[in-house]
Amino acid sequence: MSNRTGDTKQPLVEFHEPRNDDEGLSNEDRSDGSSSHSSSFHDTNTKVHPHMNTEDKVEEHTPNSALERVSNLITSGQAKKIILLLGAGISTSAGIPDFRSPKTGLYHNLQKLNLPFPEAVFELGFFRKRPEPFWELAKEIYPGKFHPTPTHYFLTLLHQHKVLKRAFTQNIDTLETLAGLPENMIVEAHGSFARSHCLECRAEVDREKILRAGVRRGEVVRCDNLVKSKGKKGKDKTVCGGLVKPDIVFFGENLPDRFFNLLPELKQCDLLLVIGTSLQVQPFASLVDRVPSDCPRLLINREPVGPFELPSSSGVLPDSLKKILSPKSKDQRDMYWEGDADQGIYELVEHLGWSEEFEEVMGKGKKDLEKRYKDAEKLEGKVDQDVRAVKEIVDDRDEAEELEEAIRRQLKL
C-alpha cells in the first residue's frame, strides 16, 4: 500500500523532495507543518526576523547579533547536542544545479524528454514505465562530479569539536560524507546515490555498474543477478533483468527506517541550526517543531520560512509565533540570518573564533578529495585500457562484458 499523499504535480522546491510520509509517525510524532508559506526574496542581509519577546515588544536583531548569540551558546558550553536540518541551499555553491530555474534548471533541460510533468522523473510508477529520463538526469546530479561546500565542512568542524548530535539532510548528493563527516552522523531523509537496488529481486547493485552505465552513458541500468527461473524446477537460473534504482526516495516510497528511528534524538537537542531549506515538505518540515520548547533555533536562509517567517505588518503577534516563544526565558528563541548558506557559516565561524581551524579543515578535505579523484581517474584509465584489450581478443560480447566486470571487481573500483 502506497503512502503517497497529495497531487503528484505539486511543485518541488528542494533539491529532491518526496511526498508526505506520515504513516511511519505516531500521532504524537505528527506535525502538519502548516506554517510554511512563500516569501519574497530580499537582496541584502541588512535585516533579520523581528520577533516579539515575552513582554509583547518587537525585538529587532541584526544578522551579527543572531550569529553572536549562537556562537556564545556553543563556546560557553550551553550547546553540546547540536542538530542540523539541511536543504538544497547548502549544495548550490558546489555547482549542483537547482530544479526550477528558468532556462538553466534541470526540469527545464528535461523538457526534450517529453515528460507529462517535470516531477514525473522522480515518480516511482513513471520510472517503472519510462526509466530513461531519470538516468538522463543522473548524469547531471551524480555526486562524483562535485566538491563539498564550506557549509558541508562546517559539519565536520562541529563534529571535531564534539558538539554535533546529528545532521538531518534532504539532499541526495552525499556531500556531507565527502566533506569527512562520518556516515553515522548523517540522516539522509530522502536517501542518496550511495547504494542502489533492483526493484524486482532487491539485490544490491555494484556502484561501479551504476557509474559506468547509468551515470556516464545515461543508460537504463538493469539487474544481472542470477535468480531462479520462474515456473521451472531444479537449479535452473536466469538473469533477473529488473530495473535498478539508486536508493533515493521517489514519490510513492517510504522514507528510510533510519529517519524514523533517530527522530527521538530531536528531544535531546539544545541548539537547532536550519540551513538552506524551504521547510515545506513533510515529514521533514515537522522536525523543526520536535525540539524542546526552550531550544534555541537559528535559520540561515535566503528567506524566512516556517516558524521563522515575518510577523504580520500590523505588528500584532500571530498565534503561530506565540507558540514558539520559550516560556522559560525572555530572550527570543528563534533567530534568522538572511543570505547564502556559506556566507552565514563563514561569519558564524568567525564569531566562534574557529576561522583558522576551519580553513585547515577545508584545505585538507579538498586536498584529500582531489587526490582521491585523481587516483580514481588513473585507475579508471587503466581499467578502460585492459577492457579494450580484452574486447579485441574476445568476439562474444556477453563474454567480453563478463570479463570487464571481473577486471573491475579485481581492481576494486
Q: Which residues are catalytic?
A: 190
Helix H, strand E, coil C: the string for 137-204 is: HHHHHCHHHCCCCHHHHHHHHHHHCCCEEEEEECCCCCHHHHCCCCHHHEEECCEEEEEEEECCCCCE
CB burial of residue 155 (10 Å; 0-12, 13-18, 19+): buried
Q: What is the rounded CA–CA span in Å between residue 313 and residue 132?
A: 49
Buried b (16+ CB within 10 A) or exposed e, 362-398: beebeeeeeeeeeeeeeebeebeebbeebeeeeeeee
Closest CA to 308 of 272, 345, 266: 272
Q: What is the rounded CA–CA span in Å between residue 154 and residue 12?
A: 27
Q: How is residue 48 written as a grid cell?
A: 533579520
Place of cell 574557529: 354
C-alpha 376, offset from chain centre: 25
**Residues placed in the known binding site:** 88-92, 98-100, 170-173, 198, 201, 223, 240, 277-278, 301-303
Q: What is the rounded CA–CA span in Å between residue 360 and residue 236?
A: 58
293, 54 Cβ separation under 8 angstroms: no
391, 400 Cβ separation under 8 angstroms: yes
* Helix, strand, or coil (residue 129): helix
Buried b (16+ CB within 10 A) or exposed e, 110-134: beeeebeebbbbbbbebbeebbebb
**H/E element, 397:** helix 397-410
End-to-end CA, the chain: 38
**Residues placed in the known binding site for Zn(2+):** 198, 201, 223, 240
